[in-house]
Each structure stands twice: as C-alpha cells, then as structure tokens.
Chains A and B, each alone.
Chain A
Amino acid sequence: MTPRSHGLALGIVVVALAALALGYHNAFVLNLVFVGLIYAVLGQSWNWISGYAGQISFGHALFFGCGAYASALFGVHHGSPWLALPAGALVAAALALAVGFPCFGLRGHYFSIATIAVAAIAEIAVNNIGALGKANGFEMPILAPSLASLQFDDKGQYVLMALVLFAIAQIGTITLERSRLGYYLRAIRANQEAAASVGVDARAAKLATFAAGAALAALAGSLYAQQTLYVGPEDTLALPISIAIALVGVVGGLSTVWGPALGALVYVALARYGGAVLGGQGHGLDLLLYGGLILVIVSWRPDGLAGIGGSIRRFVRRRSAETPA
C-alpha cells in the first residue's frame, strides 16, 4: 500500500469510529472500542521496536505503566492530567534509553529476556514502594468532567481521545516506513554488519525507535488511567500485560502499518468472550485461541493477519486484471 492509500484507510477508520463514538451511546460497546484502540496503539508502539527494529521486547508493559502511574500520581496530587501525559512519556523514553543503551549489544534472546527482567524488577519495586501505592495502587479522584480534567461523563469522549492517539500512532508508522530511519531499520534487520559498513549507526537508530515507542505506550497508559481512574501493578505492569501487547503485535503482523490494529481487533473480540480485558483473569479460552493463532501464523504466515490480507488483495487484483474488459 502507498502512503496515500494508508492515509485514506486511516481517514475512513477514524471517521467511522468517531461517528460511532458520537452517535452510539452504548457504554459497553464504546468501552470495547476504547480498549481496542489502546491496544492498537500499544501494539504499534511495540511493533516499532520489535517489528521494524527487530528487537523483541517482552517487557513493554513497563512503558504502559509509566504513563498510567504518571496519570495516577498527578491525579492524586492534584496536578493537571495534561502535564501527566508528557511526564509519563518522558520517563518512559528515558527508561527505554537506559535499558536500550547497554542491552542493544545483546544477541536476540538475551535482549528479550533482559526486557522481561527489567519489567519484573519494576513491578516488584512498585509493589513495595509506598509512594507508588504498593500492591493496592491508586484510586484517582473523580473531577468535574471537562477537557481540562481529561475526565468525561460520556464514554464516547474517551473513544475520541483514544482515536487521536491511534491516528498519531498510525501516521507515525506510515511516516516511519518512508523515512530515512525506516530504511536504516530495514537495512539493520536484513544485515546489521552490512548496514554498519555503509555508515548506519545501528544503536542510535534502535534507541530512537525504542524511545519513541516507549513514549507512545506511556501516552496510551495515561489515557487508559484517565478512563479507569484506577491504577495498580497487576493491570499495568505485570507480565501478562506485556504478553498481551506482544500478542497483538505478532498476530496482526510484524512490521506492517495495520497489523497491530488488526491484532487489537481480534484481541478485543476474543477477550470479550474470555472475560479478560487488560489484566483480568479470564477463563483462559481467549489465551488458548490466541496462542493457537500465533502458532499457526508463525509456522505458516510470519507476516500475520496483515500479510494474509495483502495476499488476498493481490489475488483479487490479479483475478480482476485477468478478466477481459
């Protein structure tokens, strides 16, 4: 797909969901749409580092948690949520640089395990630090609904906010694919030594991508906290959240613009029946199906749902081209 058709697709999705948010006042459905958009953004932020840059992270919840805790802390201490957004994003980006700088030298799985270790350390620490609410987390104060307080009485407004973030994530990805950084990342993934020999600074390229993705995940975390008004380690920092984020990315299709959104769509649809959305322990059927889907995709179609979609499109185009006019 060209950037133009990506943009067109994004426009259609945004307009359709915005119409839904404004016109359809079913709190249950709007909540699912909200969570789906949050996951699409998280999956995309993961896709930047683990898809495009090829550094597989199983600790991405750490950055989501940064944003959620920033919102919680600003909320509890009566700061503006609009300051929490950049604060969480900055902390997340700084953490990504601190983790990435030493760890990007590591071979594949060493890095992946390191991300689990760092996220686990953060989770244990938060569980034991009084100022961060320990295992109980934070109940955020309920404020008068307004854009300034980032609290709304209508679920549709949250969907609109998430839609803005989703558009930023998608435009970021479309831009990344066509940017110098995007070409660097592709070169590094294909052959890091060859890329380095023509002057590509692999570490700098990966660090920039990782930090940007972490900041994006933190923004999603802040927005999520503003909607639930509760933040605790179990549903923001724990390993199952990191696993869910990676799931969304892998199922949808690595290194594709629409993969994370497709993955999030499937995730929310399945989780809806599994009873587990973000951290809750469902009865497991959703995980079973998701795991099975990954196994099928990994052994047959590493490019995921988005890749299968691309094949279908090409097939249809070929068929219509063969049809005599």
Chain B
Amino acid sequence: MDLGPLPQLVVSGILTGLLFALISVGLTLIFGVMDVVNFAHGEFLMLAMYLTFGLALVGLNPIFALPFVALAAFVLGAIVYRLLIRRLLDGPPSTVVFGTFGLLVFLQGAAQYFFTSDYRSVPNPPFQGTLHLGNVALGEAQLIAGLGALVMTALVFAFVEFTEPGRALRALSEDRVAAQLMGIDVQRMNALAFGLGTACVGAAGALLMLTYPAFPRVGTEFALTAFVVVALGGFGSVQGALLGAILVGLVEVLGGFYISPALKLIPVYALYLVVVLLRPQGLLGRR
C-alpha cells in the first residue's frame, strides 16, 4: 500500500508537536500550581532564543548552550515571580491577565529596541544533514530538536512526579489550602513553578534556534499554539499537554499539506474554540 507523503507528514508533525509539548508543559505547570495564565510565556521563549543566538555568536552549539539558557530562564522566571507575579496574585483575576499582558508588551518592546526587528539565525548552523528512513527524509536539526524536547519534557515530568518538591507542586495544584496546612511554603513553591515553567521555554528556545530564526514577535505565535495545546490537554495537566501538543503538531503539518500552508493555523485555532466550548476540561483535565 502506498501511503504517499503521509508517513513523512506524520513524523514531521510529531517532531513539531514535541517542541510544542515542551513549551506547553511550562505554561500548564504555572497554571496548575498558581492558577496564572502567563500571557508573556512566548516572550520568555523569544528571550531564550536571543540568548542562544548570542551564545552561538561566540561559537557555542545551541545544544551545548541549552543547559545555560534553561538555567538563566529559571532564574529569570523566579525573579519575575518575586518582583511581579506575587504582587498580582493579591488582586482580582483580571490583574494577573493585565499584568502578564503588560510584561508581554514590555519584553517585546525591549527586544525590538535592543535587537531590532531583524531575523537572527544561528551562523553556520550545526546538524545540516538529512537522514533517510524508508521514504521518510528527516532533517537532522529537526530530529535533534524534537528528541531534545522529548527528553526535556520527560525530565520535567520525572521531577514533578518523583521528587519531593515535585510532590509539593502537585499537592498545591490539587488543593492549595490543604497543601498549605501540611506546611508547604506556597511562595517558595510558586517561585519554583514559575522558574521551572520558564526554564521549559528556555530549553525550547535553545532547541528552536536549530531550525528557526529569532525576532521580537517570534513568541506570539508559539504562545498562541501553547494556549491551544494546554486547553486541549486540560489546563494544569502535564500528560495532557504532551498529548495535546502532538495532536496540534499533526493538525498543523497535515493541515498545512492537505489544505494550504497559508491556512495551517486556522484548524489549530478552530480546535481551541471547539475544545473550550464543548469540553472545557480538555482531553485529560479534571474539572
């Protein structure tokens, strides 16, 4: 049986989806623990991409830059939590929306001012070969980015699932008051969750630079896709985010091929509307 380009598209869709997964896991982690939808999530991704680009200028392969970028993102996230997000949590829910929205505008403006609107790609990008598996041809960079994202997502999952701080994070997302009564330091754990969520986009930014240029508005589209993924998987669910991300990756790649590349995001955004209206708890979320 000849499947035509389908196997190629499916593999490509899954690899794209894995990167979405890493970005979305960060978003859903923050949401699950402190009920904050971070509208500036994509801007942290953008900053991580610029940092990776800067490190590449001094000769560092993005893969080796990844731990540094992720660590820097973690620290930045924890600082942003301490300075800004913590203050917002005291206000009505709309305060958080406007606060992270202000952060989005601020960071985008800063990037445009300091880095200009030019597209920046890693000079002499590594992994330019192509692998052939049957009739599936894969760019090495795309493969490494996808697998790297899978490894990072698995690490975050393992942290949340099997470590003591991870257990505390899960306890907070299940029942904040009970967790507090058990002696969990909410402020500390919130800062940890925000740092960890930002570290996810830090790692994703480094991986993304293998195949994608950095520019001030690069985060917006990825963040929007992450909102779709997180809604699909259920706000707060890590496994749901992984599943949702692969579905969205497939929808985007298959839609781009069979409908039109220019229209590939319409089914993705339409998927968001269908999910939140018909199944607001998402595929794996709890109400």
Interface residue ranges, A against B (CB under 8 Å): 54, 56, 58, 102-103, 105-110, 112-114, 116-118, 120-121, 124-125, 127-128, 239-240, 243, 246-247, 250, 254, 281-295, 297-299, 302
Chain B residues positioned under 8 Å from A114 (CB to CB): 272-273, 276
Rounded to whole Å, the gap between the CB of A18 and the closest CB of chain B is: 33
Q: A250-B102, A281-B112, A284-B108 are in contact. List 15 more A-B contacts (CB 8 A).
A: A56-B98, A106-B280, A113-B37, A124-B266, A127-B262, A128-B262, A240-B217, A254-B94, A284-B110, A288-B106, A290-B106, A291-B109, A295-B99, A295-B106, A299-B84
State which of B101, B107, B276 has its C-beta within 8 Å of the C-beta of A106. B276
Judge whether A299 and B101 touch: CB under 8 Å.
no
A284 contacts B112, CB within 8 Å?
Answer: yes
Main secondary structure of the interface of B (DSSP, over half): helix
Cα-based distance from A254 to B110 in the complex (angstroms): 25
Q: Across the interface, do B84 and A291 meet the contact criterion of CB distance under 8 Å?
A: no
Q: How far is the CA of A284 from the CA of B228 in the complex (A)?
A: 28
Whether A290 pairs with B105 at a CB distance below 8 angstroms is yes
Q: Which residue in B105, B263, B276 is a CB contact (below 8 Å) of A294?
A: B105
Stretch from B85-93, B177-185, B192-200 at the A interface? B85-93
Assembly CA distance A302 to B94 (angstroms):
10
- A14: shortest Cβ distance to chain B, in Å? 30
**A113 surroundings in chain B (CB, below 8 A):** 37, 224, 227, 231, 272, 276
Please, could you name 7 A-B residue pairs with CB atoms under 8 Å apart, sorted by A?
A58-B101, A110-B231, A246-B101, A250-B101, A294-B101, A294-B105, A299-B88
Are B227 and A295 neighbours in the complex by a CB distance under 8 Å? no
Q: Which 3 A-B pairs have the closest CB atoms?
A: A291-B106, A284-B112, A287-B109
Chain A residues positioned under 8 Å from B276 (CB to CB) = 103, 106, 110, 113-114
Query: B58: shortest Cβ distance to chain A, in Å?
Result: 25
Q: Shortest CB–CB separation between residue B252 and chain A, in angstroms?
A: 13
Q: Given A108-B97, A285-B109, A291 and B103 touching (CB < 8 A)?
A: yes
The answer to whether A284 and B216 have CB atoms under 8 Å apart is: yes
Whether A291 contacts B102 in the complex (CB less than 8 A), given A116-B224, A121-B269, A124-B262, comes out as yes
Would you list which residues of chain B between 46 and 100 have a CB under 8 Å from chain A? Answer: 84, 87-88, 91, 93-95, 97-99
Question: A298 to B224, Cβ gap below 8 A?
Answer: no
Given A113-B231, A291-B107, A292-B106, CB of A118 within 8 Å of CB of B97: no
B110 touches A128 (CB 8 A): no
B105 touches A299 (CB 8 A): no
Contact of B87 among A127, A254, A288, A299 (CB under 8 A): A299
A308 to B: closest C-beta gap in Å: 16
The main secondary structure of chain A at its interface with chain B is: helix
B117–A281 contact, CB under 8 A?
A: yes
Question: Known contacts A54-B94, A110-B231, A117-B272: does B109 contact A124 (CB below 8 Å)?
Answer: no
The answer to whether B97 and A112 have CB atoms under 8 Å apart is yes
Could you tell me if B269 and A290 are in contact, using CB atoms closer than 8 angstroms? no
At the interface, yes or no: B187 with Cβ under 8 Å from chain A? Answer: no
Q: Distance in Å from the Cβ of A123 to the closest Cβ of chain B?
A: 10
Residues in chain A near residue B93, CB distance under 8 A: 108-109
Residue of B nearest to A276 (CB): B112
Q: Are A56 and B94 in contact (CB under 8 A)?
A: yes
| Chain B residues closer than 8 Å to A291, beta-carbon distance | 102-110
Q: When the two chains form their complex, are residues A120 and B88 in contact, meaning their CB atoms are under 8 A apart?
A: no
Q: CA of A193 to CA of B76 in the docked complex: distance in angstroms?
A: 39
Chain B residues within an 8 Å CB radius of A302: 91, 95, 98
In the docked arrangement, what's the CA distance between A291 and B107, Å? 8
Name the contact of A298 in the complex, choosing from B102, B114, B262, B273 (C-beta under 8 A). Answer: B102
**Please, which residues of chain B bring their CB within 8 A of the CB of A239?**
220
Interface hub of A246, A293, A294 (most chain B Cβ within 10 A): A294
What is the minimal beta-carbon distance from A117 to any residue of chain B, in angstroms?
4
A250 to B114, CA, bound (A): 25
